[in-house]
Amino acid sequence: MNTEQVISVQGARAVLGSRPVLRGVDLTVRRGEVVALLGANGSGKSTAVRSVIGQVPLTEGRIELFGTELRRFRRWQRLGYVPQRTTAASGVPATVREVVAAGRLARSRFGLPSRGDREAVRRAIGLVGLADRAGDSVSALSGGQHQRVLIARALASEPELLIMDEPMAGVDLASQEVLAGTLREQVAAGTSVLLVLHELGPLEPLIDRAVVLREGCVVHDGPPPEAVGQHALPGHDHVHPHAADEPLRTGLLT
Amino acid sequence: MMLEMLQSPFMQRALLAALLVGITAPAVGIYLVQRRQALMGDGIGHVAMTGVGLGFLMSANPIWMATLVSVLGAVTMELIRTYGRTRGDIALAMLFYGGMAGGVLLIELSGTGTTANLTTYLFGSLSTVSDGDLVAILLLAAFVVLVSLGLRRQLFAVSQDEEFARVTGLPVRALNLLVAVTAAVTVSVAMRVVGLLLVSALMVVPVAAAQQLTRSFRATYALSVGIGVVVALAGTTTSYYQDVPPGATIVMLAIAAFIALTALAAPLARRRARAAEAATAEAACGTAPGNGRPPADDVKV
């Protein structure tokens, strides 16, 4: 495998309020690698990715993107970011195309969008299987489709590195399949990926390495772990993801 | 009778000012609504009162003084929003009411102005739009249109999802400040016609009315500016024939437009929902395209 590091985090410490959230995290993603960041709620996974993109300041430690120190990194078009959101909508109606086009600004910036820019936006919408909804208002979409819009927006700048925060949260099965397929194509084309996950789920076969956080510390960095909760069991069949969580029906209360 | 109105110079000035207000207020308001800061215009309007008071006190044109003070106020609000901790709302409240109280005090101190004078700034007045005002309004409106239209892609991205916009490398802080400054300038543009207390309505209500019908940002932008222009001109004309303040008339017309479009949109939304339902009904449960799972829920853990 290529050893060029696209993300390098060393000894990252961060506090939110007065609470330490990261307590010396090391994290690397090499070119072409797919790394999953796992952990329970409050373990610091979201803070870790948000510090990588400069949204959370570190109190200590060092972050490099593509070998450039984060503070001096300017080539944001190389990076596609999918924030943790349940909606792509805002206070004013917007079409799928309009929202995805915002992602292309990483390349076009203040220039007028060229034909190439429009083509890239169209392609990104096609990649997540929403070509027939491009002119629809995002508020008319389902939860899973919202997530697909957010991913298309990240893909619009044709990035070399994708950073995704819980891309599968609240996504229906059909959309999970589409997303896994999209990601597979991106990875096959050489894109590196860092993604925060609650459970490995349908993305499991794509993942090269898993980093598990607990209370702001890395407790595992290596092959995807055998068990990080019920749903992360390898081979756990996701045909019916909630079956295992449902209480036994005794007949007394139902 | 219409001709008579168009021939009177003060109405020519008032109508031109109304036209510019009708264009600029929704053109900025749409970004405020998009980022769910619909009441920011109201806050700026309160702060601008101190500017009007200063204008009287220093015998300067109140429009330019209001612009200066409201720009300072808007920038302060934006900085509080960005860096402010939990007590940001208290700081904003201080700014709003301090601005209002300052305006009343200064205007009484000035000797030339009275609270009756202030009322024309609070609710708008046709007869008082002077040539000097019109020049100021024209210049400020040109700035607002240039920003709102010229940077629409960038401002859309920042207002849609600030965190994402930052990761695309856009200068988000500068763009946020630009929105704040542009909103403040718009308040000064609209002050003479709609009045400081009702400015915010013309920024927000046409946008709210337009989005009852629209599906895209582009169409919402165009339609809300259209609504803004129509209600501003119609309200100004009405206040010429009936002796009522133009601001109040314009705002009531805008609300009427909102109600009318909402009533119009209900059957439209029903038809769209029915069409969507028809599309999904064809593919029955379990056989939906793209959903390749077997009909039986065989659970394996």
CATH number at residue B168: 1.10.3470.10
CA atoms within 13 A on the CB side of B202: 41
Q: What is the pLDDT of residue B88?
A: 65
Residue to substitute from A92, A150, A171, A176, interface B, most B β-carbons within 10 A: A92
Asked whether the CA dihedral B179, B224, B247, B147 is positive or negative, the reply is positive
How many interface pairs between A and B have CB atoms less than 8 angstroms apart?
Answer: 122
Asked whether the CA dihedral B191, B193, B195, B201 is positive or negative, the reply is negative
B56-61: Cβ within 8 A, 24+ apart: B56/B106, B56/B107, B56/B110, B56/B112, B56/B113, B56/B117, B57/B106, B57/B107, B57/B109, B57/B110, B59/B112, B61/B132, B61/B133, B61/B136
In angstroms, the CA B133 to CA B118 distance is: 16
Q: Please give the share of chain A, as a percent, with pLDDT higher than 70.
A: 88
B289 inside domain? no
ipTM: 0.85
Q: What is the pLDDT of residue A175?
A: 84
Predicted confidence (pLDDT) at residue A238 exceeds the cutoff of 50 = no
Predicted confidence (pLDDT) at residue A249 exceeds the cutoff of 70 = no
Token output for B249: 């008339």
pLDDT by residue (tens digit) across A144-154? 899 999 999 99
Apex A76 CA angle, A75 and A82, nearest 5: 160
Question: Which residues of chain A lie closer than 8 angstroms to B173, CB-CB?
Answer: none
Give me the domain span that covers residue B167.
9-282
B63 inside domain? yes
Asked whether the CA dihedral A237, A242, A244, A249 is positive or negative, the reply is negative
Q: What is the pLDDT of residue B276?
A: 67
Predicted confidence (pLDDT) at residue B32 exceeds the cutoff of 70 = yes
pLDDT by residue (tens digit) across B217-241? 999 999 999 999 999 999 999 998 9
For chain A, domains (ranges, CATH) are 5-245 (3.40.50.300)
CB contact at 8 A, A208 and A175 = no
**Burial class, A87, CB count within 10 angstroms (exposed 0-12 / middle 13-18 / buried 19+):** middle
pLDDT by residue (tens digit) across A31-88? 999 999 999 888 999 999 999 999 999 999 999 999 999 999 999 999 999 998 888 8
Selected residue with higher pLDDT from A234 and B58: B58
Predicted confidence (pLDDT) at residue A194 exceeds the cutoff of 50 = yes
Alpha helices by DSSP H, listed for chain B, are 2-7, 9-34, 40-57, 62-83, 88-110, 115-123, 131-150, 152-160, 162-167, 172-191, 199-210, 217-241, 246-282
Q: Do A105 and B153 touch (CB under 8 A)?
A: yes
* Residue bearing tokens 């209002």: B100
Q: What is the pLDDT of residue B116?
A: 73
Q: Do A92 and B218 touch (CB under 8 A)?
A: no
Q: Average of pLDDT values for B192-212?
A: 93
Apex A131 CA angle, A126 and A134, nearest 5: 120
pLDDT by residue (tens digit) across B83-124? 876 566 787 788 889 999 999 899 888 877 677 778 888 888
Predicted confidence (pLDDT) at residue B292 exceeds the cutoff of 60 = no
Q: What is the pLDDT of residue B60?
A: 85
B298 inside domain? no
B4 inside domain? no
Q: What is the pLDDT of residue A245?
A: 42
B299 inside domain? no
Q: How many other CB atoms sit within 10 Å of the CB of residue B295? A: 8
Question: Which residues of chain A lie closer than 8 angstroms to B169, CB-CB?
Answer: 74-77, 106, 109
Token output for B193: 């016609």
How many domains does chain B divide into?
1
Token output for B90: 């208290």
B2 inside domain? no
B250 inside domain? yes
